[in-house]
């Protein structure tokens, strides 16, 4: 069945700045490519976004609501990403009490500091009401976060009849109007481990007696985090939109569903264990350091008592004090660590933990290796989880005859290994981690990661669209895309 490039659905995946820039390139292609003498982007019926994709999506929606052009949107986004001061500006606001005076209900934390920067850079106080008032000339938008309490997607929807929130935590349109666009971006991109959850309503309400606060008066606050926890491709919101349209007799309504996906192809492997030379100081165990500190303290005390030299009193006293401090600190740290382990793992932890023998007699290099291995494994769980959710989402599309012929996937790695004029940019783009900043190396003249990501997005979108138009795209391997 040929694809109809009418009533296009576009979903923008999560992935930090990698996603934000890659989607900017993809949308540039949709703006440049023509369909019936108009840019393909003019055919947009719904845009669904997650996390880093929501940065791009909300800025685009706000630009349209203000009557701005695509070029206006592009220059805003490119300038923001090029400047790359989000983290520095957020930390500055976090440490500045004056920045929080107009937000008495907000938690003073890093994710809300990011929200203040988004507002300053893009929105200048604009709220969801700004988009709702311009709804008649906008496509539908769904900016997605996750309600941790209910394990559900929480949608900030710009629509005539879509639920704002979800069935168990539904917002009225009037209450939703006061929610700042900057807070929506922050909630959608609030990834676990990197940020604290945002609280609904406190972090979103205009005041303690606002409509949103009053609506929530008899409800328990809910924590909102990154939309990628439940659907990192933003697919479900598009399917719900199609379901609503089908109830109005418009079946099928969406002519083409473009999934712009900045998820990297492979999860990076664990670093090999370092078999090189270990620092001399890490060869010793905590117990050996305690013994050394005790011996030095005893020697210092003996010198202090036996020596009649007044000049030695101050330096020897300092050595004695340092040794005693180290002894006390090492004991308290070990005790605190074991207490934390027992509290997290089980109150019935093995009795041998209580005397710290295991912890204190192991050389520090092995303690650090074990801690690093565990932290690396825990950090990998999120990647594994997102990969499984991603596979399930794609199966739901390509395993459904209603959808599969209308879906166009635009993976960030689609052009890897394929001859193209953008091969260098694609290879560079696939090296970008999921962060909200660019490293110094990624900003070097001539190899700027931002430009590579935008070019990769533009080239990949064009390649996928032209292949779909020519009817040569095959169903992807959804089990291992």
Whole-model pTM: value is: 0.80
Please check whether residue 268 is in contact with residue 59, taking contact to mean a CB–CB distance below 8 angstroms. Answer: no
One digit per residue, the tens of pLDDT, for the chain of length 481 reads 456 888 999 999 999 999 999 999 999 999 999 888 899 999 999 999 999 999 999 999 999 999 999 999 999 999 999 999 999 999 999 999 999 999 999 999 999 999 999 999 999 999 999 999 998 889 999 999 999 999 999 999 998 788 999 999 999 999 999 999 999 999 999 988 889 999 999 999 999 999 999 999 989 999 999 999 999 999 999 999 999 998 877 778 999 999 999 998 765 554 554 555 666 666 767 667 677 777 777 776 777 677 666 666 677 677 778 877 777 777 676 666 656 655 555 545 455 445 455 556 667 676 667 667 666 665 566 667 677 778 888 888 888 888 888 999 999 999 998 887 889 999 999 999 989 999 988 988 777 899 999 999 999 999 999 988 876 555 444 433 3
Which residue in 411, 421, 424 sits closest to 461, CA to CA? 411
HSE-up of residue 222 (Cα within 13 Å, Cβ side) = 22
Tokens of 359: 């912890």
Q: Position of tokens 């986004």? A: 77
Tokens of 430: 């696939």
pLDDT score for 396: 82
Q: How far apart are CA 339 and CA 171, in angstroms?
A: 43
Task: Name the DSSP letter for residue 197.
Answer: P
Please check whether residue 146 is in contact with residue 224, taking contact to mean a CB–CB distance below 8 angstroms. Answer: yes
Q: How far apart are the first and last CA of the chain?
A: 23
DSSP string, 215-268: HTTTS--EEEEETHHHHTT-HHHHHHHHHHHHHTT-SS--SEEEEEE---SSPP
Q: How far apart are CA 471 and CA 456, in angstroms?
A: 22
pLDDT score for 326: 75
pLDDT score for 47: 97
pLDDT score for 313: 67
Which residue in 153, 148, 232 sits closest to 197, CA to CA? 148
Give the SS3 label for residue 146. strand
pLDDT score for 375: 60
Q: In sequence order, which residues have a C-beta less than 8 Å from that of residue 14 and are 6 or more positions away?
A: 50, 51, 52, 53, 54, 189, 191, 226, 227, 228, 232, 262, 434
Q: Quick one: how far is CA 111 from the chain centroid?
A: 11
DSSP string, 30-62: HHHSEETTEEGGGGEEEEEEETHHHHHHHHHHH
Q: Rounded to the nearest 10 degrees, how much is the dihedral formed by the CA atoms of 34, 40, 41, 46? A: 170
Please check whether residue 134 is in contact with residue 142, taking contact to mean a CB–CB distance below 8 angstroms. Answer: no
pLDDT score for 304: 65
Q: Cα angle at 327 between 323 and 332, to 5 degrees?
A: 145
pLDDT score for 387: 77
Q: Alpha carbon of 114 to those of 177, 199, 233, 268: distances in Å?
A: 21, 15, 23, 28
E-only strand ranges, 32-159: 34-35, 38-39, 44-50, 140-147, 152-158
Q: How far apart are CA 429 and CA 265, in angstroms?
A: 12
pLDDT score for 110: 94
Which residue in 410, 393, 346, 338 sits closest to 24, CA to CA? 410
* Residue 162 backbone zone (phi > 0: left; psi -120 to 50: alpha; other: beta): beta
pLDDT score for 291: 76
Give the SS3 label for residue 451. helix
Please check whether residue 22 is in contact with residue 50, taking contact to mean a CB–CB distance below 8 angstroms. Answer: no
pLDDT score for 351: 52
Please check whether residue 341 is in contact with residue 235, taking contact to mean a CB–CB distance below 8 angstroms. Answer: no
pLDDT score for 324: 76
Largest CA distance in the chain: 101
Q: In sequence order, which residues have a C-beta less than 8 Å from that of residue 420 and are 6 or more positions away?
A: 426, 459, 463
Q: Alpha carbon of 433 to those of 65, 128, 262, 422, 466: distances in Å?
A: 32, 30, 11, 20, 29
């Amino acid at each position: 069945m040929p694809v109809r490039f009418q009533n296009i659905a576009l979903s923008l995946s999560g992935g930090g700045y990698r996603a934000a820039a890659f989607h900017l390139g993809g949308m540039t292609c949709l703006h440049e490519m023509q369909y019936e003498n108009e840019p393909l982007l003019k055919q947009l019926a719904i845009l669904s976004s997650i996390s880093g994709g929501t940065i791009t999506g909300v800025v685009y929606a706000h630009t349209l609501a203000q009557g701005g052009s695509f070029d206006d949107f592009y220059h805003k986004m490119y300038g923001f990403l090029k400047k790359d001061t989000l983290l520095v500006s957020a930390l500055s606001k976090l440490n500045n009490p004056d920045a929080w005076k107009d937000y008495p209900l907000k938690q003073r934390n890093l994710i809300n500091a990011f929200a203040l920067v988004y507002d300053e850079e893009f929105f200048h106080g604009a709220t969801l009401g700004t988009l709702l008032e311009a709804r008649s000339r906008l496509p539908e938008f769904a900016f997605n976060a996750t309600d941790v309490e209910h394990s559900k997607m929480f949608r900030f929807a710009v629509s005539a009849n879509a639920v704002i929130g979800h069935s168990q935590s539904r917002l009225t349109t009037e209450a939703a109007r006061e929610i700042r666009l900057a807070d929506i971006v922050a909630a959608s991109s609030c990834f676990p481990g990197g940020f604290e959850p945002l609280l609904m309503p406190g972090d979103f309400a205009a005041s303690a007696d606002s409509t949103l606060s009053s609506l929530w008066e008899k409800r328990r606050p809910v924590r909102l985090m990154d939309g990628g926890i439940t659907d990192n491709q933003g697919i479900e919101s598009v399917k719900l939109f199609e379901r609503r349209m089908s109830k109005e007799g418009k079946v099928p309504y969406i002519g083409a569903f473009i999934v712009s996906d900045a998820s990297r192809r492979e999860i990076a492997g664990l670093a090999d264990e370092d078999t090189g030379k270990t620092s001399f100081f890490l060869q010793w165990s905590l117990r050996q350091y305690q013994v050394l500190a005790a011996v030095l303290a005893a020697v210092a005390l003996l010198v202090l008592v036996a020596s009649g030299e007044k000049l030695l009193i101050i330096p020897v006293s300092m050595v004695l004090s340092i040794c005693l401090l180290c002894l006390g600190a090492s004991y308290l740290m070990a005790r605190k660590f074991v207490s934390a382990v027992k509290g997290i793992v089980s109150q019935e932890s093995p009795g041998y933990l209580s005397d710290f023998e295991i912890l204190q007699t192991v050389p520090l290099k092995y303690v650090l290796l074990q801690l690093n291995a565990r932290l690396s494994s825990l950090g990998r769980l999120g990647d594994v989880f997102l990969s499984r959710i991603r596979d399930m989402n794609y199966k739901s599309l390509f395993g459904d005859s209603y959808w599969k012929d209308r879906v166009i996937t635009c993976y960030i790695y689609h052009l890897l290994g394929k001859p193209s004029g953008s091969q260098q940019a694609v290879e560079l783009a696939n090296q970008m981690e999921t962060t909200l900043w660019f490293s110094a190396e990624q900003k070097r003249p001539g190899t700027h990661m931002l430009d590579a990501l935008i070019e990769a997005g533009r080239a990949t979108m064009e390649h996928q669209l032209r292949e779909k138009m020519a009817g040569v795209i095959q169903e992807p391997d959804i089990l291992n895309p």
